[in-house]
Structure 1
């Protein structure tokens, strides 16, 4: 494997890695704008040169062999080194090239989207691609250069950078409170309803400073997307707990009001950027992370 880069075409290695990451020839071809037969020829060429079977193919799926897994690890390293060399060769030029970002839907809508015009103006040669998901995905599986994650990191071995913290706030729409009654004491919340998150369930737990047990509020509706929960609260379906960046503009505009400010017992939510390639080897990643730092999320 040590001399793999001297034997094989970079394009064939990239095709093999892409097929594995995308879970098949058809999806890899779609993402790259080429035919599945072209990718198949690349894999066949690799297998003939290495004299091993890399993938077992069926009509519906692929399965990587043990030899293929070994080649895959080496291929990733070679492609990363190639990317680093390109960055070094163009170090005197403005950062350029594709950069794929994976982030939760609310973070994209309320933090990134309002500011991306500024980033694009500063770095027009960086081609940003943004994938939005509220579920946790691995960086390789999501084809991401950088992933934004909310909450305490479970895997401290990943390359990561803290980019902010955001407080939790309990909010409701003013017209909803006009109908149901504005709560004057915490106990009054029990006569209201809660718009709940399908997951993670702990967001629905309402603990307040000085109270031994969480406060139970009847559910009105449950949604599996943070932005959907926000829209339902805006339309008077109940109260909900949100991270500050999601509803700061709504509070300023009077669309939502915070209930019992400073009394919610919830640790601020940590916001981190995770990545696989060292910043020193990918300038466009470095400038994106620096930009995230500068906008002071939270």
Structure 2
């Protein structure tokens, strides 16, 4: 395969990246204000030059090939380096352009959303697009520039930056405990009910320092979304354990109380940003990651 930097048409690379990011030729054409046939010719020309198939096209779907995924990563870097050179040449122009972020629902609602006005004020020319998903998604498949992941990372060569760690806390609403009785020791939890997470199952496990086995609490309800579990607990339907960023404000306001502080045995939750493009090649990604690092230190 030729090296991409030897290609003469930067526009063909941009067309290929745009089609992948928008999920199809028609969507990319609308976004760019050109015809779908123009983008199709660009991608076909790129495939002919590289002598590989980049995209498998049917009447209903578009699938990137393994060769296409490899070309996509390098194409992004080439385009990003070109953009960076343009930024340097424009006498200190502020970072600008689209940035797609994928993150779990609770993280967006409790960490990002309360601070995004601050980021927008500082970098008004960066157009953030935020997709929320509680499940692990593929960066290429989700068309994301950066993804926030909670917990251990799968084995991957993907670029990543640790942002911080979240502690686990077991909580309930005071009204619920007034109705059912306040537990005096962890073993008393068997007389309460637990709002369970549909996945991952380990979040429902309650282990304590002074007990040899986990405490099995009867289940009241199960929900597949962390924010749904939080709302159920706030409404007095049981106890649950949460990462601290989800419920610290509820604890401060008294809407929730922590049960057995410091006694729950659970490894802190790693918070990590994953991305495909080297930070040195994309200023808007670099400043966003730096900003994330700052808000996790506050």
- TM-score greater than 0.5 by the shorter chain: yes
Q: Which stretch shows the higher mean deviation, 247-256 or 74-83?
A: 74-83
Alignment match, 1:79: 79
Matched, 1:162 2:162: yes
Distance 2:135 2:80 in 1: 27
Would you say the 8 A contact 1:165–1:297 is kept in 2?
A: no
Residues 77/252 of structure 1: CA separation in 2 closer, same or farther (3 Å cut): closer
Q: State the shift of 1:40 in Å.
A: 2.6
1:136-155 equivalences under 5 Å are: 136-155=136-155
Matched, 1:203 2:203: yes
TM-score under structure 2 normalisation? 0.87
Would you say the 8 A contact 2:80–2:282 is kept in 1?
A: no
Residues 56/247 of structure 1: CA separation in 2 closer, same or farther (3 Å cut): closer
Matched, 1:122 2:122: yes
Matched, 1:43 2:43: yes
For the aligned residue pairs, the C-alpha RMSD in angstroms reads 2.7
Residues 130/63 of structure 1: CA separation in 2 closer, same or farther (3 Å cut): closer
Distance 1:238 1:161 in 2: 36
Q: Which stretch shows the higher mean deviation, 22-31 or 150-159?
A: 22-31
Q: State the shift of 1:235 in Å.
A: 0.9
Residues 26/177 of structure 1: CA separation in 2 closer, same or farther (3 Å cut): farther
Distance 1:56 1:244 in 2: 44
* SS of the residue 1:296 aligns to: helix
Distance 1:117 1:6 in 2: 42
Residues 179/30 of structure 1: CA separation in 2 closer, same or farther (3 Å cut): farther
Residues 26/202 of structure 1: CA separation in 2 closer, same or farther (3 Å cut): farther
Q: State the shift of 1:56 in Å.
A: 4.2
Alignment match, 2:259: 259
Could you list the per-position Cα deviations for residues 121-167 of structure 1 after superposition, in whole angstroms to 9, with x for gaps in the alignment?
Answer: 11111111111111111222222222111112233633222211111
Would you say the 8 A contact 1:8–1:46 is kept in 2?
A: no
Matched, 1:230 2:230: yes
Could you list the per-position Cα deviations for residues 35-87 of structure 1 after superposition, in whole angstroms to 9, with x for gaps in the alignment?
Answer: 54443343344456667655443222345567756755653443343334334
Q: State the shift of 1:279 in Å.
A: 2.0
1:19-30 equivalences under 5 Å are: 19-20=19-20, 24-26=24-26, 28-29=28-29
Distance 2:222 2:20 in 1: 36
Distance 2:26 2:7 in 1: 27
The number of residues matched between the two structures is: 298
Would you say the 8 A contact 2:77–2:278 is kept in 1?
A: no
Q: Which stretch shows the higher mean deviation, 267-276 or 220-229?
A: 267-276
Could you list the per-position Cα deviations for residues 207-227 of structure 1 after superposition, in whole angstroms to 9, with x for gaps in the alignment?
Answer: 111211111011111111111
The answer for unaligned runs of 5 or more in structure 2 is none
Alignment match, 1:180: 180
Residues 65/97 of structure 1: CA separation in 2 closer, same or farther (3 Å cut): closer
Would you say the 8 A contact 1:147–1:275 is kept in 2?
A: yes
Residues 102/67 of structure 1: CA separation in 2 closer, same or farther (3 Å cut): closer
TM-score under structure 1 normalisation? 0.87
